[in-house]
Structure 1
Amino acid sequence: DTTTLFVPEDYLINCTPGMRKWWELKSQYFDCVIFYKVGKFYELYHMDAVTGVNKLGLVFMKGTWAHSGFPEIAFDRFSNILVEKGHKVVRVEQVETPEMMEARCKSLAHPTRFDRVVHREVCRIISKGTQTYSILDGEFSETHNKYLFCIKEKAADPTGLHHTYGVCFVDTTVGKFYVGQFLDDRHCSRLRTLLAHYTPVQILFERGNPSVETQEVLKGLRSSAAQEGLIAG
């Protein structure tokens, strides 16, 4: 699974508490760029720092590993740049204050050094099909809908004459959600028409599910839509 990364425990035990948390998150979101909140800044480490330098024009900070970052006010601008370049961005926020951390540690019978770091959690995963806009993200500049398209194909028709699809369109720019199911011919005519009318920017499907014919239809959108196969369950 290229979306995850195995990080040995004997490596994590030698990390600082903050870096251990980063590696734990990176192991789950290896295919994403993590914007890791530290105080009033978002920091990028290791391979993400390299991406930040190459794609965002950031500079490496001094240290023993690759490290870059930017002020929190620039989150919208930098996340949008990466998403438009085809990356997914994970936003990690601090969910407790240093005072809350101290109180939590005092409540533990035997706190370890890994407990003595403020809790951080993933609060948002941003891709082309999941971008939302609010006052915190700056001005809304899109002039067209951005659809996230999910498709599930029913088991193949023994005659090979029909396809049955379950589909879902989500337009997060305006908060609209469409879901439906339909029977199609062997040429996938209705599916082709649907995708022509509502051209998606991102397509999700179950790994191994779409038939060969359906995959050929989706291949025609690779230049305009990011595509990702997900593991069921």
Structure 2
Amino acid sequence: MVGVPKFSFEHWVDQFIAKDHKVARVDQMETALGKEMREKATKKKEEKVIRRQLTSILTAGTLVDGGLLTNEMSTYCMSIKVRVLSNKNDPPAYGICFVDTATGEFNLMSFVDDIDQTQFKTLIMQVKPKEIVYEKEMLNKRSQRILKTCINYPIWTGLIPKREF
């Protein structure tokens, strides 16, 4: 965890995102004077600190601010749903969405792959997503291996099935 001055935020976000870190932005929601006025209005001192609040979470796959984008290449965030049809020897079925949040380009597809997962591997090699969103414990081993060998250090975001994904 690190704090940086507001005026140099863009510089530091660029540095952290380039190293594939997630950045949480916490902004001050009131000034010292505002805190003092709030305490006078409520006639009690609640806290010794000025109120702050999480305002955004930034990753390489979710940047939209033109000042934070570092090059002209698309940086995709990809969501993957894998379903093995009946047994482990059957080919997997995929539901995939990938989006370039900077340009608004949105792609949605589903397909049943072959046993070697050729279509999935080809798609990953072409898109090269910066962030992968998937269901925890639902991404099969072969798909994980393809993602790890075809993409350099993606950000992995595992979500709880049915509750978050």
Structure 1 residue runs without a partner (length 5+): 1-32, 36-41, 43-70
TM-score by length of 1: 0.61
Relative contact order (alpha carbons < 8 A, sep ≥ 6): 1 or 2 greater?
A: 2
Return the match for 1:172 from 88, 91, 101. 101
Local SS of the residue matching 1:185: coil
Question: Take 1:98 and 1:180, find their aligned partners in 2: how far apart are those partners?
Answer: 51
CA distance in 2, matches of 1:168, 1:175: 13
Question: What is aligned with 2:16?
Answer: 82
Contact conserved, 1:34 with 1:90, CA < 8 A, in 2?
Answer: no
Is contact 2:20–2:153 with CA below 8 Å preserved after alignment?
Answer: no
Deviation at 1:100, TM superposition (A): 3.1
Query: How many equivalent pairs are there?
Result: 161
Residue 28 (structure 2) aligned to one of 80, 94, 106: 94
SS in structure 1 of the partner of residue 113 of structure 2? strand
Q: Name the counterpart of 1:19.
A: none
- The 8 Å contact of residues 61 and 75 in structure 2, kept in 1 or not, is answered as yes
> 1:34, 1:91 within 8 Å by CA — same for their partners in 2?
no
Instruction: Sort the Cα spacing of 1:168 and 1:34 in 2 relative to 1 into closer, same or farther, 3 A.
Output: farther
**For residues 40-59 of structure 1, what are the alpha-carbon distances to aligned partners after superposition, in whole Å with 9 as ceiling and x for unaligned?**
xx3xxxxxxxxxxxxxxxxx
- Which residue does the alignment assign to 2:85? 157
Shift in Å, 1:224: 4.4
Runs of 4+ in 1 over 4 A off after TM superposition: none
Alignment match, 1:204 = 133
Q: Percent identity?
A: 28
**Mapping of residues 16-31 of structure 1, within 5 Å:** none
User: 1:207–1:34: structure 2 CA closer, same or farther, 3 Å change rule?
Assistant: farther
How far apart in 2 are the matches of 1:157 and 1:222? 26
TM-score w.r.t. the length of structure 2 is 0.82
In 2, distance between residues paired with 1:186 and 1:76? 45
Say if 2:64 is the partner of 1:132.
Answer: yes
Aligned to 1:143: 72
Paired AA for residue 126 in structure 1: L
State the Cα distance separating 1:118 from its structure 2 match: 2.4
Q: CA deviation at 1:91?
A: 1.0
Which digits, 9 at most, give the CA deviation of each residue in 1:101-151, with x for residues without a partner? 233323436443x2x4322111111122122224xx36x541211011111
Residue identity matched to 1:129: G
Partner of 2:55: 123
CA distance in 2, matches of 1:109, 1:187: 68
Task: Encode CA deviations 1:164-222: one digit per residue, 9 max, x unaligned.
Answer: 11212121221222233222222112211211221111212121011122122112135
Q: Deviations over 1:54-95 (max 9, x none)?
A: xxxxxxxxxxxxxxxxx4222111111111112211111012
| Aligned equivalents of 1:34, 1:172: Cα separation in 2 | 26
SS of 2:17's partner is: helix
Structure 2: where are the runs of 5+ without partners? none
